[in-house]
Each structure stands twice: as C-alpha cells, then as structure tokens.
Amino acid sequence: MIKDLKLKGSSEVLKVGTKSKPIRLVEGDHEISCKMDGIAIGLKACFVKKVMS
C-alpha cells in the first residue's frame, strides 16, 4: 500500500506498507483482488506498489 485507505462498510484501515501475498489480476472496476489482514478486497493498481523480495 502506498497510502492509508479506509474500507467501505468497515471500521478497518489499511495502513501504508501493508503487504498482501496472494494477489490476482482481474478485469472490472478494480484491477487487483487480494487478501489483507484476513479480509478479501479489491484494489485499484494506483494504490499498490510492486516490491521485489
């Protein structure tokens, strides 16, 4: 994550630096489907940074 994001319908906030291991690229209004902190979410690619480890 490159910036803090509030999740709609939840009191959770995804913090900068949160990592997601299982990601899938999908078509539609969001480009990435993943699981962060046990919550399945869809993200736009502009909020994610690729990290080589």
Identify which has the larger pLDDT, 32 or 53: 32
Please give the pLDDT value at position 8.
87
- Residue 53 inside a domain? The answer is no
The angle subtended at Cα 53 by Cα 13 and Cα 15, nearest 5°, is: 10
- Residue 35 inside a domain? The answer is yes
Q: Does residue 4 surpass a pLDDT of 90?
A: yes
On whether the CB atoms of residues 7 and 18 are closer than 8 A, the answer is no
Q: Which domain holds residue 34?
A: 5-47
Q: Does residue 47 surpass a pLDDT of 70?
A: yes
- Residue 24 inside a domain? The answer is yes
Please give the pLDDT value at position 37.
79
Q: What pLDDT, in 10s, does the model give residues 9-25?
A: 888 898 998 888 888 99
- Residue 52 inside a domain? The answer is no
User: Could you tell me which residues come within 8 angstroms of residue 21 by beta carbon, excluding any fewer than 6 positions away?
Assistant: 35
